[in-house]
Amino acid sequence: MGKDTLTIIDNRTGKSYEAPITDGTIRAMDLRQIKVNPDDFGIMSYDPGFKNTASTRSKITFIDGEKGILRYRGYPIEEIAENATYLEAAYLVMYGELPTREQYEQWVYDITHHTLVHENLRTFLDGFRYDAHPMGIFISSVAAMSTFYPEAKNIFDQESVELQTKRLIAKVPTIAAFAYRHSQGLRYSYPDNDLSYVGNFLNMMFKMTELKYKPNPVIERALEILWILHIDHEQNCSTTTMRAIGSAHADPYVAVAGAAAALSGPLHGGANERVLRMLKRIGSVENIPDYLKLVESGQERLMGFGHRVYKNYDPRARIIKNFAHEVFKVTGKNPLLDIAIELEQRALNEEYFIKRKLYPNVDFYSGIIYQAIGIPTSMFTVMFAIPRTVGWLAQWREMLQDPEQKIARPRQIYDGYSERHFVPMDQR
């Protein structure tokens, strides 16, 4: 094997250049030495959607898209989902190691005791229309929290970073549940510190007139696994947004709100909501061939399918599909599951999907379970944002500690007008 360098010959000048290869990459800045004359800006790379650009180094999540591998801090997602609690997985992603019993108990105590939101935030929530989309409520309420904790702007004060981290992890389920209760015209159900993080969310969502809400253990565990699967996924669109906002040294509340805004897009976290609407629209197994024809002709997208990185089965989708049956033993089977399973089978045998390596992603089956446990479709992306808040914060903290990171400010290829001069209006 030769040297770890790239030799580039610029055929415009006949000059050759050497660029070191490190971890399978070259530094884009090494291209700038390639010029046709001293005044030349030099070569840039052009990469719409960053399909082939590494924006950072990270130790948090590893994905092998070809093999369908996902690991949090080196641990296979399958082992974490099977053995860890949600807050245990969250601790691992945040701090890089599985917690000792003492660390875990302190972590759970700290988060449990930050679940309340300021009563003024409750008033803010009351101001939304009854039919406001819960994701819009979530995004704005998380951003509003930056006004309650101005000390969060001290992003290099580690004590403040720890406090804001715990506050955000603790409060996002409360905000999410309050948004749901608001949309249902129900009084807010406040946190119950006797319950687990996930059990408490179900309490804040579904407690009615009973004195003490008792979560169904099967549903509690199913939701815990779903949330573990959604914690982090390396440099996806919303995490990139979190890092970009954080790179300007904005506080973590507005950065999480911005990341959640990116997640709300139907091509990203908003897909789980669109999958349910798609399955309802297909309506029956008999209608699948016609719908696939619309997809293959480019008139429709098969929501919940395809992925920028996975060119194999998303391991998260496989886990979700496998435990769906456990949930339906308690909730009753969701008829949409049969359509989803048949749709997957048909699609995976169609040339259009095989050629493009399109497989089910995390959003394909998650919504079917959320619906079965009583979560309305409009809440599905909020259900994604709650656990992903942990990943966004872990990535944000890693970025702030990375000496190579600077404010995110890409370049462009300008192909607009060259210089021209102002024309008075009556001469246009």
User: Which residues in this chain contact ligand SDX in the complex, by CB under 6 A?
Assistant: 49, 233, 236-237, 267-269, 271, 295, 301-309, 356, 358, 361-363
Least gap, CB of 164 to ligand SDX (angstroms): 22
For ligand SDX, give the closer residue by CB, 204 or 302: 302
Shortest spacing between CB 262 and ligand SDX, in angstroms = 10
Return the number of the residue (175 or 262) whose C-beta is nearest ligand SDX: 262
- Is 64 part of the annotated catalytic residue set? no
Report how far residue 379's alpha carbon sits from residue 396's, in angstroms, rounded to the nearest whole number.
Answer: 25
Q: Do residues 240 and 125 make contact, with C-beta atoms less than 8 angstroms apart?
A: no
d(CA 57, CA 237): 16
* Closer residue to ligand SDX (CB): 323 or 392: 392
Give whole-number Cα distances, 42 to 402, 413, 418, in Å.
27, 13, 20
The span from the CA of 25 to the CA of 131, in Å, is 48
Question: Least CB distance from residue 95 to ligand SDX, whole Å?
Answer: 21
Please answer whether residues 61 and 391 qualify as being in contact, where contact means their C-beta atoms are separated by less than 8 angstroms: yes
Could you identify the residue written with the tokens 């339906």? 328
Catalytic, out of 232, 251, 314, 363:
363
Q: Give CA–CA dist 240/396, Å, rounded.
A: 10
Nearest approach, Cβ of residue 385 and ligand SDX (Å) = 11
Least Cβ distance, residue 398 to ligand SDX (angstroms): 16
Half-sphere exposure of 16 (CA within 13 A, CB side): 6
Instruction: Give the residue at shortest CB distance from ligand SDX.
Output: 306
Catalytic, 307? Answer yes
- Which of 317, 382, 390 lies closest to 87 in space, CA to CA? 390
* Catalytic residue selected from 30, 110, 192, 268: 268
Task: Give me the least distance between CB of 364 and ligand SDX, in Å please.
Answer: 7
Q: Which two tokens stand for residue 330?
A: 């308690």
Could you tell me how many residues make up the chain? Answer: 428
Q: What residue has token string 């480019």?
A: 298
How many Cβ atoms sit within 10 Å of the Cβ of residue 118?
A: 14
Q: Encoding tokens for residue 75?
A: 């641990």
Answer whether 168's CB lies under 8 Å from 253's CB.
yes
Q: Give the separation between CA 375 and CA 151, rounded to whole angstroms.
A: 35
State the nearest-atom distance from the C-beta of 62 to ligand SDX, in Å: 12
233/321 with CB nearer ligand SDX: 233
113 flagged as catalytic? no
Which strands make up the sheet holding 75-76, listed edge to edge? 61-64, 69-72, 75-76
Q: Pick between residue 140 and residue 361 the one whose CB is nearest to ligand SDX.
A: 361
CA atoms within 13 A on the CB side of 348: 13
Taking the C-alpha atoms of residue 286 and residue 414, their distance in angstroms, rounded to an integer, is 50
From the candidates 114, 182, 307, 314, give the one annotated as an active-site residue.
307
DSSP-based three-state secondary structure for 380: helix
CB of 309 to ligand SDX, least distance (A): 6
Residue 118 or residue 311: which is nearer to ligand SDX going by CB?
A: 311
Residue closer to ligand SDX by CB (options 212, 355) is 355
- Is the Cβ of residue 61 or residue 183 nearer to ligand SDX in the bound state? 61
Q: Which helix (H) or strand (E) holds 241?
A: helix 237-247
Q: Which residues are catalytic?
A: 268, 307, 363
